[in-house]
């Protein structure tokens, strides 16, 4: 059985990606940051469908914990799947924080950098020895890093996601010698718990976002989760170094 690791799978896009990947017959190690209940709910949903899931805590902003996480994953692979490798990595965990450049603190900038760019960089580095040749990585980016349709307030967040897009291409280049494919997905406005559940707290912003989207609505987590599951699967075996916007045609 193939095995995937999905970070930030306690809600939203990560939760959907984990469930969609499991539906295709892949075992899933899923991580949560500060929402253990959500992580358990994701695992329960996978197991209800006959899949196998293991839930682990992980703070992707704390690189010092990655060695211990590597060791835990090694044990889980051995005990649950009788394997010493896994196949797919989805670097999805993240958070959003918006502020104008003139108001952005160095502290909030550094935290975004640690979670959105440094975290995926060094987590991938740490897990690479456990990855099977011919595997796949998907990095969750954002259309906040696009070249048009920008919104004020996303300068730091978008810059980190832009860095992740460049990192995706370098990963694809370097890991190609092992047959490992690396791609990014860039969601548009999506109804998730990011930014402290902003869509629930500010429902008035939804119609304006839907109006700017060609397909006439905001995204749902499953819209993006399905694409991530497809990208790690063999259906995308000839796709690498791509950043796929999954936004319903935002600002088209």
Active site residues: 157
In Å, how far are 68, 87, 122 from 126, measured between CA atoms? 10, 14, 6
Long-range contacts of 106-110 (CB under 8 A, 24+ apart): 108/156, 109/156
In a 13 Å sphere around the CA of 86, the CA atoms on its Cβ side amount to: 29
Query: Cα–Cα distance between 168 and 94 in angstroms, integer?
Result: 16
Q: Which of 188, 183, 190 is nearest to 233 (CA)?
A: 183
DSSP letters of 177-225? Answer: GGT-EEEEEEE-SB-SSHHHHHHHH-GGGHHHHHHTBTTSS-B-HHHHH
The CA distance from 119 to 89, in Å, is 13
**Cβ pair 48, 42 in contact under 8 A:** no
Q: Which residues pair with 58 in a beta bridge?
A: none
Closest CA to 139 of 91, 186, 94: 91
């Amino acid at each position: 059985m193939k095995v995937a690791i999905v970070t930030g799978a306690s809600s939203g896009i990560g939760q959907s990606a984990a469930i969609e990947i499991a539906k295709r017959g892949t075992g899933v190690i899923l991580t949560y940051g500060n929402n253990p209940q959500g992580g358990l709910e994701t695992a329960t949903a996978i197991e209800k469908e006959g899949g196998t899931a293991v839930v682990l805590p992980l703070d992707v902003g704390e690189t010092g914990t990655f060695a211990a996480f590597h060791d835990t994953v090694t044990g889980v692979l051995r005990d649950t799947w009788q394997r010493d490798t896994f196949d797919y990595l989805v670097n999805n965990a993240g958070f959003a924080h918006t502020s104008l450049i003139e108001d952005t603190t160095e502290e909030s900038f550094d935290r975004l950098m640690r979670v959105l760019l440094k975290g995926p960089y060094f987590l991938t580095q740490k897990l690479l020895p456990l990855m099977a040749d011919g595997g796949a990585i998907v990095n969750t980016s954002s259309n906040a890093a696009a070249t048009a349709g920008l919104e004020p307030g996303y300068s730091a967040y978008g810059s980190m996601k832009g860095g992740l897009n460049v990192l995706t291409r370098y990963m694809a280049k370097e890991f190609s010698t092992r047959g490992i494919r690396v791609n990014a997905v860039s969601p548009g406005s999506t109804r998730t718990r990011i930014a402290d559940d902003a869509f629930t707290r500010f429902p008035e912003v939804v119609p304006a976002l839907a109006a700017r989207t060609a397909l006439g609505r905001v995204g749902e987590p499953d819209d993006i989760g399905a694409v991530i599951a497809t990208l790690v699967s063999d259906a995308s075996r000839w796709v690498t170094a791509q950043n796929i916007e999954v936004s319903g045609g935002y600002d088209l």
